[in-house]
Amino acid sequence: MLRRVFTPYLLIQILILLLVLACAGQWGNRGDEQEQKQVREQEQEQEQVREQEQEQEQEQKQEQEQEQKQEQEQVREQEQEQVREQEQEQEQVREQEQVREQEQEQEQEQEQEQEQVREQEQKKFGRRTDHTSAVKKYCRKIAKKFYYWGWGHSYCQNFQWLHVRNSVLGDPLMWVVFGDEKAHRKTPKNATMVLCSIHGDELTPAKFCFDLMVDLARNFPRFKEQLVIIAPIVNPDSFFKRKPTRTNRRGVDINRNFPTKDWKIAALKLWRTRYHSDPRRFPGKHSLSEPETLFMVNLIKRYRPGKIIQVHAPLTHIDYDGPGDTLNQKALPVNQLLISMSTNAKGYRIKNYPYFPGSLGNWAGNERQIPTYTLELPSSDNRRSKEFWQTFQKAMHTAILFPVLD
């Protein structure tokens, strides 16, 4: 029976079946292995990814650290630069301070020098103590006005003033003489008369005359053979007013008040017609009615100057009245002087300005044939005084040294 069941055929079938089963088992094992491999590979890949990520993270960290370092370095550099700038600024401040100190020292030295010059001048002038009380008082008044107009020291007390009459309000009408007056009386010298501030609102001419006086005192040896008569403030009553005016205290234009031959017939008439009774040009009720006019007339008669220079402002020209004026002869010495005065003042404009009834140019220049030069400064602005003196200093020297004798 068993032999029947286990036939070879069946045995073969069983064997085949076993074989199939074995193979299938092997396949199954193989599938597991593959899976495991895949898992491992995946794990490896993941591991790699993780490693890469870690590397990237590290790189990023490093980069960030480098950036931070760079930033820190920049900050350090900026700080250093700031420190350097601060140091430079401090250095500059130190240098400026040094410059300021040097300037201050220089200023002090200059002040000391000026003080020395002042002392020397006082010695040279032989500071007079015999000024009349009127002159002393008047000099104080002048000094005050000088500071008011920003002109500094007037040196008024240092000059040897002469005075005979007073203005309407009682100020002394003063003048100064440079040179030997006694010798001039015996043998006339080359005398120059300089008159300033005939019109009281012309401020710069007054300072101009004082500048000339200080200049002559300083350089006296050069001019000692000349005679120079200077009246720096001819019209004090209007010069010292709070608001200076052209006319004098009585409202008279003293440069229209000289006793010229045509005064009676022309002065008042011309004033009414041409000037429409302009109060600034009123010639007075009659000629020589004013003490200031009388002062100038007497001064001219006393010294018989070879030439007169009157300083005004602001017409900006030099005018000439006197011999050779109407003929306009350029060859005459008086005209040569006019030209050289202009040349010495950067080619200042020469103008043939007419003279008027009662004017100084008419009375002294035209009628008495005393060469009379009218220097019209460019402005009455008190701040420009220094500039004008610098411009005309040489011209004034030329004029004073120029011999005009008959």
Interacting residue ranges for Zn ion, rule: CB under 5 A: 199, 312
Q: Least distance from C-beta 103 to Zn ion, angstroms?
A: 41
CB of 302 within 8 A of CB of 231?
A: no
d(CA 232, CA 96): 44
Provide CB contacts within 8 A for 218, sequence distance 6+: 121, 124
Alpha carbon distance, N-terminus to C-terminus of the chain = 195
Residues in the chain: 406
The DSSP call for residue 350 is B
d(CA 319, CA 245): 23
Q: Least distance from C-beta 256 to Zn ion, angstroms?
A: 11
Q: Cβ closer to Zn ion: 340 or 382?
A: 382
Q: Least distance from C-beta 228 to Zn ion, angstroms?
A: 21
Q: Least distance from C-beta 199 to Zn ion, angstroms?
A: 4
CB of 195 within 8 A of CB of 403?
A: no
Q: Cβ closer to Zn ion: 199 or 397?
A: 199
Q: Is the dihedral of CA 118, 124, 126, 128 positive or negative?
A: negative
Q: Cβ closer to Zn ion: 139 or 254?
A: 254
Q: Cβ closer to Zn ion: 264 or 317?
A: 317
Q: Least distance from C-beta 234 to Zn ion, angstroms?
A: 10
CB of 234 within 8 A of CB of 278?
A: no
Q: Cβ closer to Zn ion: 226 or 237?
A: 237
Q: Least distance from C-beta 201 to Zn ion, angstroms?
A: 8
Q: What value, to the nearest 5°, has the Cα angle with vertex 63 and ends 59 and 65?
A: 115
Q: Cβ closer to Zn ion: 172 or 244?
A: 244
Q: Give the distance from CA 228 to its chain's centroid.
A: 33
Instruction: Tell me which residue has its CB nearest to Zn ion.
Output: 312
DSSP track, 131-145: --HHHHHHHHHHHHH
Q: Least distance from C-beta 352 to Zn ion, angstroms?
A: 17
Q: Are strands 227-231 and 172-178 parallel, antiparallel or unpaired?
A: antiparallel
